[in-house]
Structure 1
Amino acid sequence: DFNNLLAGFYGNIQLLELSTAKESEKSRKYVAKLKDISNRAAELVRRILEFSRKDQGVAVNSSIGQIIRESVELASHSLPKNVSISFENDAKGSIVQVEKAQIMQVLMNIMINARDAIGSRPDGHINIVSKQRNLGKLAADRLNLKTAGRYVEVSISDDGPGIPKNLIDRVFDPFFSTKEWSDSKGTGIGLSIVYTVIHNYEGTVLIDSKKGQGTTFRIFLPCADGATTRIDDNAEPEVTVQLEDKTILVIEDEEDVRESLRDLLDRHGARVLLAEDGRQGQTIIHEQSPDIIILDLNMPMMSGEMLLSEMKEEIAHIPVMVMTGLSRDGYMMSVEFPMVKAVLQKPFNHRTLLHALSLAFSAGD
């Protein structure tokens, strides 16, 4: 619901930006500020959804650098002012096959543990470093890894009091807490989750710590081949889509989102048809035969997914772009419904929408 509100708000800000292109610099500055605030709000909501999502259940090829960046951004909101955090990515382009939410939870658990260990001491710091490692059999054996090969190593270091030597071997035990030597008030299950998740991916996690000198957690995950393809809302892609001769059906129950999409597509010369639920959308599809459908997934009366299921044969030749306020992996939709050419996470940038339209029309040719 909040993402739907943001989508309507953000869409109208972008239309206002277009309308004030020739206005005073002061007016443009205010609009740019509103747009920036909306972007930050949308990004925070998206990361919270990614972190809290428990039902995705599928490991996919993902950029480890992107996962770490998003986790750091999310964790930074829970850090006190005396604790800073930094990330050095020396594993650019490294891909791991993981369930993103699980790895975010692993990183969050370790960062929260580091925060609690630092406590109230001034100028505390958490440093994260990622790098790619090519491990031979001997190195893999020393690290208790099943196979040799390419791995990503993620080190998370803090400058807290460190862990006493006699306690290090128990850190990953369920319900074991080190609160006797730190200010942590956790349940003792966070680090056991870290251990379980990483080992489920045939990786390993190690601890280097000395009392009074801080702690470093070292995570090793096997690299995967290939990479996921997704539309990057931050890339500001060049848009070359031609809409003058296109009929586009927008099926969206939120009036603000529906109207802002109509206004944007009108500006680019498209003939725009509007439906406020799946049933109305079905009727328009039968009567008008649109060139492309922009479809919200979560609607009353008939959801977007229900419409796709009921009309799978009829609209097999029509490219569909799905919009959702929930965190959902697009490739899963395209496997079940091949007509789905793009999935957009609300709220999205207008340039991203136009870029996705271009890709969808190309895929439909």
Structure 2
Amino acid sequence: TFSRGGDPQMRPIDIRDAVRESVKLVLRGSNIQCRYYLAKHLHPVQADEAQIRQAIGNIIINAVEASPTGGAISVKGENVAYRRKAEKPFIKLTISDRGKGISKEASSRIFDPYFTTKDMGSLKGTGLGLSISYSIIKKHGGDITVQSEIGKGTSVSIYLPAYGDITQVVSTVKEDLPVSGRPEAAVKRILVMDDEALIRSFMEDTMSFLGYDVTTCDEGSKAVEMYGEAMATRPYDLVVLDLTVRGGWGGQETIQRLLDVDPEVMAIICSGYSNDPVISHYGAYGFKGALAKPASIDQIKATLDKIFNN
């Protein structure tokens, strides 16, 4: 289940509204059209609407990027008996494009957070977004599948457990809160330092999805400067440092400078070198935790939970 920063605000929703709002947001300013094929009596789902919109939006972005200029995508919604969980009804959303398509090999890896499919159609360069969509749907008791054919396009299908019938959807007044559902002052601030843009992007996307306020930089001296400046206004609650940085301060040097600035600094060290003593004995070097790269969403979530709950 989701915990700090990621608890779903569950209620019955009309999934058709979530689809239309997601499409509207993504297609704004685009020359791509969307064709809707949504069943009139499509079952509602019990879901966190903000998270479901994010999951759908990520997939729509992929479909739009794959589509030729002036092309179209489609979204189909239907009530189904899902073969993997036949004991209860499901709704199925299928988002399709007519792009280049992707290979079977790539299809089997697209939910890997670090997998990128540049120049491979609807999933090019968007492994991070798809991994987050996958996590959201799974946390809602659903499933997500991909079918693609080279030269013909890609279809991504989302399966979510149905909740009663459409008459059970009740409108609620939404408070003016951030996506996490908590006032801004309660949202933990995290500063991530890593010299690889892909890692920074993944960390920012993942931690933002979990409900944290995330800022990134690519080198240790910048992290120290940003941390010091924030102390006078809204301090960072945690710093995540890459152990090895090309042409700049790595995690070990940076933590020493940060401890000079703030002896109470909370920091995590990250590295692909799991045998490095800074990783295996992180406490002796001033860190509160360690992450081995590549880290999964669940590993990041568990580490952050442990840090903040302690």
Q: CA RMSD in A?
A: 2.9
For residues 45 and 37 of structure 2, the distance between their equivalents in structure 1, rounded to whole angstroms, comes to 18
**Residues 1:230 and 2:171 are matched in the alignment:** yes
* 2:33 counterpart of 1:84: yes
* Residue of structure 2 equivalent to 1:126: 73
Give per-residue Cα distances to partners, 1:52-83, cap 9 Å, x unaligned.
xx777321111111111221222221x532x2
Match of 2:147 among 202, 208, 226: 208
Q: CA 1:106–1:91 in 2, change beyond 3 Å: closer, same or farther?
A: farther
Q: CA deviation at 1:94?
A: 1.2
Alignment partner, residue 218 of structure 1 = 157
CA distance in 2, matches of 1:103, 1:171: 19
Q: CA–CA distance in 1 between the matches of 2:119 and 2:175?
A: 46
Q: Which has the higher contact order (CA 8 A, sep 6+)?
A: 1
**Residue among 38, 44, 49 paired with 1:95:** 44
Q: Secondary structure at the match of 1:160?
A: coil
In the TM superposition, residue 228 of structure 1 has moved relative to its aligned partner by 3.5
| Mapping of residues 124-203 of structure 1, within 5 Å | 124-133=71-80, 135=81, 140-141=83-84, 145=85, 148-182=87-121, 186=125, 188-203=127-142
Structure 1 outlier segments of 4+, above 3 Å:
54-57, 182-187, 322-328
Residue equivalent to 2:53: 104
Per-residue CA distance 1:20-65 (angstroms, 9 max, x = gap): xxxxxxxxxxxxxxxxxxxxxxxxxxxxxxxxxx777321111111
Distance 1:176 1:224, change over 3 A: same
Deviations 1:90-117 (A, max 9, x none): 1525110010011100110001011112
User: Would you say how many aligned residue pairs link Structure 1 and Structure 2?
Assistant: 175
TM-score, reference length from structure 1: 0.43
Q: Distance in 2 between matches of 1:80 and 1:229?
A: 32
Matches within 5 A, 1:304-343: 325-326=176-177
SS at match of 2:89: strand
1:140 corresponds to which letter in structure 2? R
Task: Report the CA distance shift for 1:85/1:220 in structure 2 as closer, same or farther (over 3 A).
Answer: same
2:13–2:170 CA contact under 8 A, matched in 1: no
State the AA in 1 paired with 2:83.
Answer: A
What SS class does the counterpart of residue 155 from structure 1 fall into? strand
CA distance, structure 2, for counterparts of residue 323 and residue 178 of structure 1: 37
Give the share of equivalent positions with the same residue, in percent. 31
Distance 1:183 1:64, change over 3 A: closer
The 5-angstrom pairing of residues 3-42 of structure 1 reads: none
CA 1:183–1:93 in structure 2 vs 1: closer, same or farther (change >3 Å)? closer
Deviation of 1:199 (Å) = 1.3
- Per-residue deviation, residues 307-355 of structure 1 (Å, max 9, x unmatched): xxxxxxxxxxxxxxx9965579xxxxxxxxxxxxxxxxxxxxxxxxxxx
The 1-side partners of 2:149 and 2:171 are apart by 43
| Residues 122 and 153, structure 2, Cα contact 8 Å, conserved in 1 | no
Are the aligned partners of 2:8 and 2:47 in contact in 1 as well (CA < 8 Å)?
A: no
User: Counterpart amino acid of 2:61?
Assistant: I
Whole-angstrom distance in 1 between the partners of 2:178 and 2:14 = 17
Q: Which has the higher helix share?
A: 1
> Would you say the 8 A contact 1:127–1:158 is kept in 2?
yes
* Separation in 2, partners of 1:76, 1:123: 12
For residues 183 and 215 of structure 1, the distance between their equivalents in structure 2, rounded to whole angstroms, comes to 7
- In structure 2, how many angstroms separate the alpha carbons of the residues matched to 1:204 and 1:324? 30
Q: Deviations over 1:149-188 (max 9, x none)?
A: 2100000000100011221101111121111424977452
Structure 1: which 5+ runs fail to align?
Answer: 1-53, 232-321, 329-365
Q: Distance between the aligned counterparts of 1:85 and 1:323, measured in 2?
A: 27
Distance 1:327 1:91 in 2: 32
Output the CA distance in 2 between the equivalents of 1:187 and 1:116: 10
Between structure 1 and structure 2, the one with the greater Rg is 1
SS at match of 2:159: strand
